[in-house]
Amino acid sequence: MFPKLDPLLHSELRLAVMSILAGVEEADFTYLKKQTGATSGNLSVQIDKLTTAGYITVEKGFKGKMPRTACRITPAGRKAFCRYVEALKEYLSAGK
Amino acid sequence: MEQNKEMTAQQSLSLITETLNNSRRDILRGNSKYFILWGIILTLLSLLIYVCWHFTGKASWNFLWFSMPLIGYPLAAILGKKDQGMPKSELGRMTGGVWTVFGAFSICLSLIAVFAVPMHLTLLIVVILGLAESVSGVLLKNWPIIIAGFILGVGGAVMAMLIKSEAQLLLFTLGGILLAITGLIVKFQYK
C-alpha cells in the first residue's frame, strides 16, 4: 500500500515554494515569485494555504524603506516535505 | 507555474531537484563576489605595500594592512545591499562566519605581533588564509576553492619560510589572485 501524497504539497506551485524554502533559511516573496514565475496574486494565495497548514511562516516588515515579506519553512512543514519526498521515492521504486 | 497542474511522481521529484539546485546556484553565485572583492583588495594592497617597502626600505609600510578591513567591510556591505531579495541560507551564514573568524584572527595576531610578542606573521596569516578558503570550499562543496586554499595555505607556509623580507608580500598577492580566480570560477560555474 502506497503512502498517500500530501494534497497540499502535490501542486506544482506550492511544491516549488516548499522546495525553495527547504533549501534556505528564509526567502523573500520577490525571490519566490522570480524563481517560480508565478503571478503575485497566485503566489499569495498558495502562500496563504501553506501558512494556514502551518507549513511555512510569513513575516511582513521593512528593509530600509522597502516593504519585505519573508517566508520560512516550519519544522512541521519540513517534516511534511520529507514525508512527501519519501512517498514519491516509494512510488518511483515500485514503478521500476 | 500553475497550482493545480497534475504531476507525476517523477515530475514532482524533478521539480524539487531543479528548485533546490537553482537556490543553491543563486547562493553560490552570491558568495562568489565576496571572494572576488577580497581577492582584488588583497592583491592590490599587498602589491602597494611591497612596492613602498621595496623602494623606501621601510617595513613600517606594513601598517597599511590595517586599512584592509576599513576598505573591505564597507565595500562588502555595499555589495551586500545588492543581495536584497536573495534567500538567506545556512550555507551563506557559515561561509560568512568562517571569513569573520579569519578576519578576527588576522587582526588580533597582527596587533599582538606588532605590539607585544613578535611572531612570523606571514607564515601564520597565509596558513589561516588558506585554511579559511579551503573550509569555505568544503562548505560550498566546491573543489577549485578547496584546492586553491590548500595550495595557498601549505605552499604559502613553505614559501614563507624560504623567502625573506618584502618578497613575502608577494605570497599575499598570489593569495589575492587565487581568491579572485576562485570567485570567478564559482561565478561562471553557476551562471
Closest CA to B42 of B116, B129, B124: B129
Residue B54 corresponds to which cell in the numbers above? 621595496
Whole-number pLDDT of residue B11: 85
pLDDT at A95 over 70: no
CA B122 to CA A79: how far, in whole Å? Answer: 49
Q: What percent of chain B has pLDDT over 90?
A: 35
Note whether residue A7 is domain-resident: no
Note whether residue A38 is domain-resident: yes
Q: What are phi and psi of A11, to 5 degrees?
A: -145, 135
Q: Is A43 exposed, middle or buried (0-12, 13-18, 19+ CB in 10 A)?
A: buried
Note whether residue A5 is domain-resident: no
pLDDT at B3 over 60: no
- Tens digit of pLDDT for each residue in B135-156? 988 988 888 889 989 999 999 9
- Tens digit of pLDDT for each residue in A62-75? 877 778 889 999 99
Whole-number pLDDT of residue A82: 92
Closest residue of chain B to A46, computed from CA coordinates? B3
pLDDT at B2 over 60: no
- Tens digit of pLDDT for each residue in B17-75? 988 888 888 887 887 888 899 999 999 999 999 999 999 988 889 889 889 889 998 99
pLDDT: which is higher, A45 or B31:
A45
Q: Tell whether ipTM is more than 0.85.
A: no
CA B171 to CA A18: how far, in whole Å? Answer: 46
Note whether residue A79 is domain-resident: yes
Residue given cell 503512502 in the structure block: A3
Alpha-carbon distances, residue A28 vs B21, B46, B86, B159 (angstroms): 17, 39, 7, 46
Q: 16-75 in A: which are within 8 Å (CB) of B? A: 16, 19-20, 22-28, 30-31, 34-38, 42, 45-46, 63, 66
CA B145 to CA A55: how far, in whole Å? Answer: 36
Whole-number pLDDT of residue B188: 84
Note whether residue A63 is domain-resident: yes
Q: Is A68 exposed, middle or buried (0-12, 13-18, 19+ CB in 10 A)?
A: middle
3-class SS at B2?
A: coil
pLDDT at B92 over 90: no
CA B66 remoteness from chain centre:
17
What would the mean pLDDT of B120-147 be, rounded to a whole number? 89
Q: Domain holding A49: CATH number?
A: 1.10.10.10
Whole-number pLDDT of residue B189: 76
Do A85 and B16 count as a contact with CB atoms less than 8 A apart?
A: yes
Q: How far is B61 from chain A (nearest CA, A)?
A: 39
Whole-number pLDDT of residue B27: 80
Structural domain that includes position A90: 12-95
What would the mean pLDDT of A78-90 be, rounded to a whole number? 90
pLDDT at B8 over 90: no
Closest to B23 (Cβ–Cβ): which among A12, A24, A89? A24
CA B130 to CA B123: how far, in whole Å? Answer: 11
Residues 6+ apart with CB under 8 A from B50: B166, B167, B169, B170, B173
Closest CA to B180 of B69, B41, B49, B28: B41
pLDDT band at residue A1 using 50, 70 and 90 as cut-offs: low
pLDDT at A22 over 80: yes
Do B86 and A31 count as a contact with CB atoms less than 8 A apart?
A: yes
Note whether residue A4 is domain-resident: no
Residue boundaries of the structural domains of chain B: 13-83+93-189
Counted domains in chain A:
1
Q: How many CA atoms lie within 13 A of A73 on its CB side?
A: 25
pLDDT band at residue A48 using 50, 70 and 90 as cut-offs: very high
Residues of B whose CB is below 8 A from A85: 13, 16
What would the mean pLDDT of A43-57 be, rounded to a whole number? 94
Q: How far is B144 from chain A (nearest CA, A)?
A: 23
CA A82 to CA A50: how far, in whole Å? Answer: 15
Closest to A12 (Cβ–Cβ): which among B15, B27, B88? B15
For testing contact with chain A, the best of B5, B8, B16, B88 (most A CBs within 10 A):
B16
Alpha-carbon distances, residue A94 vs A73, B75, B182 (angstroms): 30, 54, 43
Note whether residue A22 is domain-resident: yes
Residues of B whose CB is below 8 A from A42: 3
pLDDT band at residue B5 using 50, 70 and 90 as cut-offs: low
Whole-number pLDDT of residue A75: 95
